[in-house]
């Protein structure tokens, strides 16, 4: 095909249009994409030398980020892991943050730190609840991995919250 | 300084030339690039040719409704790279930066993906050859499988220089080049732009490409900003592109069937 191979000048459309106009390419032999491109051109012309748009890039910050920062600073690696493929269940940090906001809403006199400490305590008792409910009916046939994973995760969190983290104390240091 | 009268004559000549060009090249009458508000069934079809012209419809193959922002979000299409590796030319497609990581504006990406899918379906309808290209080891099997499923071609390995531009020497035979290149990943394994993009542009082959925040979208005909590494995102792109191609091919089969039926009726 007799066409220019200088891909940085013009676009594929302008180059083929030039060939058609000059008669170097027969109208019946035009590439099959040509009419489609004409009917549905791309939003931005695919020019190599397109000038760079001067668009400011903004930071994405949410109002509850201060709570999230405090929570992660307090618990850090003691936070339990979560499954990336699970889309419907909120993560532990999401749960605690929602709980904190709820506490603040119910009692506006609570400071953020107090509400957070309360939320962590609530979550901790919730974990204990789950653990009590989870006891299998038949102890002779325990679920696979039950003794290995579940208690250790809960214990880890419990230890984190109860022993190391006197949250109020840690937060007051900052 | 051009004399005003002269300028007027130049202007008029230019306009007539462009008008002539438009008439000469025009094979697509009355394209409505926006979806018509009135129902398509209420259109007067008595003057229409026997077979509908897909170019006259905004969404002939019904591929635009395949794309939903929620699905893209769930497939992690919105996640870009760290801000340090940003290509300045990707700036307009970015929503913001979260903790140093770029987040794409999925509203824009979805719209661009819809346009790209429409283009892909049209090429498939016109019996075009589609080539899937993408150099990432972890996704290459998926890409090849997608191409196989829609009876098209894939090349997910190292791109030898001149596969398009010097194909006859390289393959030792006259080679039919593809009519469309779909890139699920526009960078090579060493983070250089894939030479396939430049070669396709040289040979006047349109490209549809997923561009991440560290890619150059300028030479790609229909760029779609989005995550090009995560398998869930690649799975999503492969699935929508496959559906678009299959829809285009199905529409072609339907049209051929309609034509043969009409011919039979006329024959009888």
CB contact under 8 Å between B204 and A46, yes or no, is: no
Which of A15, A33, A84 is best to mutate for the B interface (most B CBs within 10 A)? A33
Between the ranges A151-155, B3-7, B41-45, where is the mean pLDDT highest?
A151-155
| Adjacent-strand bridge partners of B98 | B101
Which of B218, B224, B244 is best to mutate for the A interface (most A CBs within 10 A)? B218
* CB neighbourhood size of B76 (10 A): 16
pLDDT at A92: 87
pLDDT tens, position by position, B140-155: 999 999 999 999 999 9
Confidence label for A89 from pLDDT (cuts 50, 70 and 90): confident
CB contact under 8 Å between B25 and A20, yes or no, is: yes
The number of C-beta contacts closer than 8 angstroms across A and B is 107
Nearest-CA neighbor of B163 among B200, B188, B189? B200
Average pLDDT of span A16-35 = 93
Domains of chain B (ranges, CATH numbers): 68-251 (3.40.50.10490)
Closest residue in B to A16 (Cα) is B204
CB contact under 8 Å between B201 and A38, yes or no, is: no
- Tokens of residue A43, six digits: 């939003």
Average pLDDT of span A69-91 = 80
Q: Is A53 on the interface with B (CB under 8 A)?
A: yes
Chain A nearest C-alpha distance from B56 (Å): 8
Q: What is the domain partition of chain A in residue ranges?
A: 1-53, 63-134
- Tokens of residue B244, six digits: 């678009």
Give a three-class secondary structure readout of chain B.
Answer: CCCHHHHHHHHHHHHHHHHHHHHHHCCCCCCCCCCCCCCHHHCCCCCCCCCCCHHHCCCCCCCHHHCCHHHHHHCCCCEEEEHHHCCHHHHHHEEEEECCEEEECHHHHHHHHHHHHHHHHHHHHCCCCEEEEECCHHHHHHHHHHHHHCCCEEECCCCCCCCCCCHHHHHCCCCCCCCEEEEEECECCCCCECHHHHHHHHCCCCEEEEECCCCCCCCCCEEEECCCCCHHHHHHHHHHHHHHHHHHHHHHHHHHHHHHHHHHHHHC
Query: Considering CB atoms only, which of A3, A52, A60 is closest to B96?
Result: A60
Out of A43-52, A89-98, A120-129, B203-212, which region has the weakest mean confidence (pLDDT)? Answer: A120-129
Closest residue in B to A3 (Cα) is B203
Contact B122, B55 (CB under 8 A): yes
Using CB atoms and an 8 Å cut-off, which of residues 29-48 of chain A contact chain B? 31-33, 35-40, 42-43, 46-48
Query: Considering CB atoms only, which of A31, A48, A53 is closest to B204?
Result: A31
pLDDT tens, position by position, B34-76: 444 444 444 454 555 578 899 999 999 999 999 999 999 999 9
Task: Give the ipTM.
Answer: 0.80
Question: Does A66 or A170 have the greater pLDDT score?
Answer: A66
Query: Considering CB atoms only, which of B74, B180, B221 is closest to A46?
Result: B221
């Amino acid at each position: 095909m007799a066409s220019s191979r200088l891909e940085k000048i013009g676009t594929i459309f302008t180059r083929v249009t030039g060939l058609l106009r000059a008669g170097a390419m027969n109208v019946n032999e035009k590439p099959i994409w040509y009419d489609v491109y004409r009917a549905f051109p791309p939003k931005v012309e695919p020019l190599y030398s397109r000038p760079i748009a001067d668009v400011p890039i903004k930071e994405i910050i949410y109002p509850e980020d201060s709570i999230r920062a405090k929570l992660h600073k307090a618990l850090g690696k003691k936070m339990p892991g979560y499954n990336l493929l699970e889309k419907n269940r909120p993560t532990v940090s999401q749960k605690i943050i929602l709980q904190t906001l709820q506490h603040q809403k119910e009692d506006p006199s609570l400071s953020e730190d107090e509400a957070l400490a309360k939320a962590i305590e609530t979550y901790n008792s919730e974990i204990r609840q789950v653990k009590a409910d989870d006891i299998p009916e038949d102890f002779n046939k325990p679920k696979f991995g039950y003794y290995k994973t579940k208690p250790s995760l809960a214990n880890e969190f419990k230890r984190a919250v109860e022993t190391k983290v006197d949250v109020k104390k840690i937060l007051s240091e900052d | 300084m051009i004399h005003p009268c002269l300028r007027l004559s130049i202007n008029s000549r230019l306009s007539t030339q462009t008008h002539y060009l438009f008439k000469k090249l025009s094979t697509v009458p009355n394209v409505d690039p926006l979806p018509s508000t009135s129902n398509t069934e209420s259109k007067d079809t008595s003057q229409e040719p026997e077979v509908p012209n897909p170019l006259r419809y905004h969404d002939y193959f019904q591929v635009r409704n395949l794309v939903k922002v929620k699905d893209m979000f769930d497939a992690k299409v919105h996640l870009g790279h760290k801000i340090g590796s940003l290509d300045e030319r990707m700036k307009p497609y970015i929503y913001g930066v979260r903790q140093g990581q770029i987040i794409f504006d999925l509203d824009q990406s979805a719209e661009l993906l819809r346009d790209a899918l429409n283009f892909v379906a049209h090429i498939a309808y016109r019996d075009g050859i589609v080539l899937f290209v993408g150099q990432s080891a972890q996704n290459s099997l998926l890409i090849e499988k997608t191409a196989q499923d829609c009876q098209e071609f894939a090349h997910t390995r190292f791109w030898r220089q001149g596969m398009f531009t010097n194909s006859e020497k390289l393959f030792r035979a006259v080679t039919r080049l593809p009519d469309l290149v779909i890139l699920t990943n526009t960078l090579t394994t060493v983070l250089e732009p894939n030479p396939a993009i430049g070669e396709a542009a040289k040979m006047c082959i349109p490209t549809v490409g997923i561009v991440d925040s560290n890619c150059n979208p300028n030479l790609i005909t229909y760029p779609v900003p989005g995550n090009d590494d995560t398998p869930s995102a690649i799975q999503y792109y492969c699935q929508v592109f496959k559906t678009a191609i299959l829809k285009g091919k199905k529409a072609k089969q339907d049209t051929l069937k309609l034509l043969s039926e009409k011919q039979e009726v006329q024959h009888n």
